[in-house]
Chain A
Amino acid sequence: MSSLDNLFGMHTQALALWQKRAEVLSSNLANADTPGYLARDIDFRKVLSGTSGAQAALPLSTTSADQIQSVASGGMPLSYRIPTQPSMDGNTVDTQVEEAAFASNSVHYQASLSFITAQIQMLRTAITGN
């Protein structure tokens, strides 16, 4: 039943990504008053190209496992946010930006959830026949 593994398509991975992003954004919000804290975010496009196997650029090949890998292994590609209003204490969290990102992130998460729900209901219809 290998088709069952693929039942939900990319939505299970998307759920994990939205969860991770919610974590990053909530860290930003929690550290809104921490001096020197740099706000971070996950680039959805980068993760998508990573999971779909398409490489954005050709990675450098390494001849030994001890060499520094040009492509980060595992984990989510976190990038630092470019501040619109840099503050004196070096903190780059813009609370409004983070709140908006958090809200849109939770909508995306619920969208992924409803895609999965629709898939489950379709299967139910197929099984019960009514």
Chain B
Amino acid sequence: MSLTNIFNIAGSGMAAQSLRLNVVASNLANANSVASTPQAAYHAHEPVFSAVQEGVSMAAQAAGSQAGDAAVGVKVDGITQSNAPIQRQYEPGNPMADASGYVYGSNVNPVDELVNMISASRSYQNNVEVMNTTKQLMLKTLTLGN
């Protein structure tokens, strides 16, 4: 029954998009965090998505190409950190300030994050719609002949 596969596909899409929303939330929450070294400063996180075939083992997935089976879900490959430059602020009164009086802020760009948030929520809604439509089709199929 390939209609049930759609639930897995749309579900993987929803999981990936909600993780993206989660990452956006952490980035926005930490937008104003400061640290005493550039290394310790908060770097914006970004999830990396990749396509994954549903119901196929990872080994077969590595061997085969994308063109094989129809059902392709989404998986989160990992979370990378942004390489954008860290802002340095002169705040000698801050307890986190280093010897020369600087604190290091995050490299989160709030505009980027908000755009990401809108995109993630729209994609999530798309997947919900796909799931709803599929559910209706399945229910109609179950009552076939009435």
> Which residues from 1 to 49 on chain A have a C-beta closer than 8 Å to any C-beta of chain B?
15-16, 19-20, 22-24, 26-27, 29-35, 37-38, 40, 42
The complex places the Cα of A33 from the Cα of B47 at a distance, in Å, of: 11
User: Is A82 on the interface with B (CB-CB < 8 A)?
Assistant: no
Q: Is the CB of A32 within 8 A of B144?
A: no
Chain B 3-25, CB-CB to A under 8 Å as 1, else 0, gives 10110011011001100100000
Q: Is the CB of B49 within 8 A of A35?
A: yes
Q: Is the CB of B144 within 8 A of A30?
A: no
A110 interface neighbour in B12, B67, B137, Cβ under 8 Å? B137
Binds A, one of B31-39, B86-94, B119-127: B119-127
The complex places the Cα of A117 from the Cα of B146 at a distance, in Å, of: 7
Chain B contributes a number of interface residues (CB within 8 A of A) equal to: 40
Collect the chain B residues with CB atoms within 8 Å of residue A121's CB. Answer: 145
Binds A, one of B71-79, B97-105, B107-115: B71-79
Q: Is the CB of A27 within 8 A of B49?
A: no
A29 interface neighbour in B5, B71, B130, B137, Cβ under 8 Å? B130
User: Is A97 on the interface with B (CB-CB < 8 A)?
Assistant: no
Taking A23-B3, A34-B50, A34-B51 as known contacts, 10 extra A-B pairs with beta carbons closer than 8 A to each other, sorted by chain A number, are A19-B1, A20-B70, A23-B6, A27-B9, A30-B10, A32-B13, A33-B49, A37-B51, A102-B130, A117-B144
- Chain B residues engaging chain A, CB cutoff 8 angstroms: 1-3, 5-6, 9-10, 12-13, 16-17, 20, 48-51, 66-67, 70-74, 119-120, 122-123, 126-127, 129-130, 133-134, 136-137, 140-141, 144-146
A-B contact pairs, 18 of them (CB 8 A): A16-B2, A22-B134, A23-B9, A26-B134, A27-B71, A27-B72, A30-B10, A30-B72, A30-B127, A31-B13, A35-B48, A35-B50, A40-B67, A42-B70, A95-B123, A103-B133, A110-B140, A120-B145
- Chain A residues engaging chain B, CB cutoff 8 angstroms: 15-16, 19-20, 22-24, 26-27, 29-35, 37-38, 40, 42, 76, 78, 95, 99, 102-103, 106, 109-110, 113, 116-117, 120-121
